[in-house]
Amino acid sequence: MSLGSDNHSSVHPKIMQALMSANTGKAPSYGTDPLSNEAVEIFKSHFGEKTNVFFVFNGTAANTIAIKALLKPYQSVLCSDVAHLNWDEGGAPEAIAGTKLVLVKSEDGKVTIPELEKHMIRLGDQHFMQPGVLSITQPTELGTLYTLKELHELIAWAKSKNLKTHIDGARYVHTSTRLGVDFKKLGQDLGVDIISFGGTKNGLMFGEALLCFDKDLATDLKYLRKQFLQLPSKSRYLAAQFKAFFKDGLWAEMANHSYKMAQALHDGLKNIEGVTIMHPSECNAVFAQFPKQWIKPLKKHSFFYVWDQHTWTVRLMTGFDTEPSEIESFINKVTELSNNKE
Ligand SMILES: Cc1ncc(COP(=O)(O)O)c(C=O)c1O
């Protein structure tokens, strides 16, 4: 069993079936095949007609290429102090986009305008890397969500400071299901420049889409994706997965299920003596603090990551394929440890 990550989930059978169905005969390459054209149209129908779509293989590449497209060589990126961009991308944004990440103090993973303002300093100073991009993670690395109003406020603030905007949306599906807002309001209408839209963490075998709402930037992305090694030749296989993902609301079904499982986990853990819930659980993750001596036996029962070794906070994550019995059994194990006081 694993509560380690939604990356530990299998591929949804309907997506696997779509891959099998795409696997017949020949098809043109590099995004020119009928399935790729169809998938692009599907994205446009959800996110708005002005959406430019670029499929890539993984989230780190999506983020790095987006940032590369948005920055001038002397500009930095403002992101939260828990951003995946900073902690878990192996320095790719710095190495490949050639930038500096400026970490902004966050609360439950969310940045605020007053904290961002503190970094709008030394503007015009040739000795200082100039802020160029605001990158927001939605949902955040700590499983929380910005509201639609908060997203609008952050983007409006960024624009007022001449910053470009990027959303790391590895799990962006939850923004729509949890906030009850359609993708158009979260896409073209939001005013953001580029979204890294995740598929892998919500049922795909692999594949993310860069969604770009600006024509000139889209031209840059076309060349940057190739230059940074992410132009898929057999693009039909990425497209087929996204086509199945959007068919009959499969994406929402998967996101809702993983959310429901996380809620069950959260509700089952919250009143157990010895457990502290660390952040609101607003998508498919629960951050909990356990006594250190529980970690080993619990990990034997179900794999998970220790998020913070100083506080023994762990991240428990569900996926579209998490079974209610897995959650129940994990809660039982935690209860057993809590009752065993010696
Ligand atoms: C918030 C967030 N952004 C980006 C990524 C990067 O995705 P990948 O591992 O596909 O490069 C992850 C992966 O876990 C993530 O959680």
**Mean predicted confidence (pLDDT) in 203-215:** 98
Residue 4 is assigned to a structural domain of this protein: no
| Same domain, yes or no: 63 and 92 | yes
Q: Look up the domain containing 21 and give its range.
A: 13-248
Please provide the size of the chain in residues.
342
**Mean predicted confidence (pLDDT) in 93-105:** 97
183, 217, 248 - which closes a domain: 248
248, 270, 298 - which closes a domain: 248
**Mean predicted confidence (pLDDT) in 12-30:** 98
| Same domain, yes or no: 120 and 171 | yes
| Same domain, yes or no: 212 and 295 | no
Residue 2 is assigned to a structural domain of this protein: no
| Same domain, yes or no: 255 and 241 | no
Question: Looking at the predicted structure, is the pLDDT value of residue 287 above 80?
Answer: yes
CB atoms within 10 A of CB 24: 7
Is the bond preceding residue 139 a cis peptide, omega within 30 degrees?
A: yes
Range with lowest mean pLDDT among 164-168, 188-192, 208-212, 307-311: 307-311
233, 248, 263 - which closes a domain: 248
Residue 57 Cα to ligand 1 middle (Å)? 11
Residue 65 Cα to ligand 1 middle (Å)? 14
For the chain, the average pLDDT equals 97
Q: Whose CA is nearest to atom 9 of ligand 1?
A: 59
The residue whose CB lies within 8 Å of the most ligand 1 atoms, and thus the one to mutate among 60, 79, 282, is 60
| Same domain, yes or no: 105 and 177 | yes
What are the backbone angles phi and psi of residue 224, rounded to the nearest 5°? -65, -35
d(CA 187, CA 184) in angstroms, rounded, equals 5
Question: Looking at the predicted structure, is the pLDDT value of residue 52 above 70?
Answer: yes
342 band by pLDDT with thresholds 50, 70 and 90: low
Pocket of ligand 1 (CB under 6 A): 58-60, 63, 84, 137, 141, 168, 170, 200
